[in-house]
A = this chain, B = another copy of it.
């Protein structure tokens, strides 16, 4: 075995599982494919990696091209490379997942996507390629991650109520949480800063909080472990 460069190479793509939260349930952003294969089916935004481009750069580029989203939380998820996962031939895909705040929600359009839209994760249409499997892995990761890393704040507005925060955790973990216990626990985190602002609704006004990333990072360096 010498100059392995002469080998045939798989094509390489990135795909992004974009999560959002609307106050009710967890959602994902899907693109209706314009082109074959799977034209007309729903799929995650993604596309081919360019030769001089880092993987996460490619993921951000495709995300912006296909959905207009930028400056979002993005992390590599897993690489899917089953030989038959793409009917066109060998295509290996590095999957990422992104978390976006409601105020960042996109305006669709662009490149080879014809339509973009949010779908509740528990009532999705059939997905192209192996994207159902990709989603399964992404959900598993998100559910695991949210318990020991402060990533939930990436899905909420910058200022949020404790009710929203609790609702998010309940939606992702799929179970109810005791309100008093939840509030006592988060009140002990001093990177969760209470503001002097309130939201009004058809009920008692709720205090707004924000997540102070600087304070969190400082604590983290001192060995603090987030857990909720």
| Cα–Cα distance between A94 and B92 once the two chains are bound (Å) | 10
Judged by a CB distance under 8 angstroms, whether A55 is at the interface is yes
| Cα–Cα distance between A190 and B2 once the two chains are bound (Å) | 51
What is the interface residue range for chain A against chain B?
Answer: 20 to 34
Whose C-beta in chain B lies nearest to the C-beta of A112?
Answer: B1
Within 8 A of B (CB), among A22-47: 35, 47
Mask: chain A, 1-25; 1 = CB below 8 Å from B; 0 = not: 1101101111110000000000000
Judged by a CB distance under 8 angstroms, whether A196 is at the interface is no
| Cα–Cα distance between A81 and B9 once the two chains are bound (Å) | 15
Determine whether the beta carbon of B112 is less than 8 Å from that of A83.
Answer: no
A174 contacts across to B, CB distance below 8 A: none
The one of B8, B54, B78, B81 that contacts A82, using a Cβ cutoff of 8 Å: B54
| Cα–Cα distance between A79 and B89 once the two chains are bound (Å) | 21
| Cα–Cα distance between A8 and B55 once the two chains are bound (Å) | 15
Determine whether the beta carbon of A49 is less than 8 Å from that of B10.
Answer: yes
Determine whether the beta carbon of B48 is less than 8 Å from that of A7.
Answer: yes
A81 contacts across to B, CB distance below 8 A: 49, 54-55, 94
| Cα–Cα distance between A207 and B136 once the two chains are bound (Å) | 42
Determine whether the beta carbon of A55 is less than 8 Å from that of B92.
Answer: yes
| Cα–Cα distance between A92 and B54 once the two chains are bound (Å) | 9
Shortest A147–chain B CB gap in Å is 10
Judged by a CB distance under 8 angstroms, whether A52 is at the interface is yes
11 extra interface residue pairs, beta carbon distance < 8 Å, beyond A5-B11, A9-B12: A1-B111, A2-B35, A5-B88, A7-B48, A9-B11, A9-B51, A51-B90, A52-B90, A53-B83, A55-B79, A79-B79
Query: Which 7 pairs show the lowest CB-CB distances between chains A and B?
Result: A55-B81, A9-B9, A79-B79, A4-B48, A8-B51, A79-B94, A52-B83
A to B CB contacts below 8 Å, 16 in the list = A1-B47, A4-B47, A5-B11, A5-B89, A9-B10, A9-B12, A9-B51, A10-B51, A12-B92, A49-B92, A52-B83, A54-B81, A55-B92, A76-B78, A81-B94, A92-B94
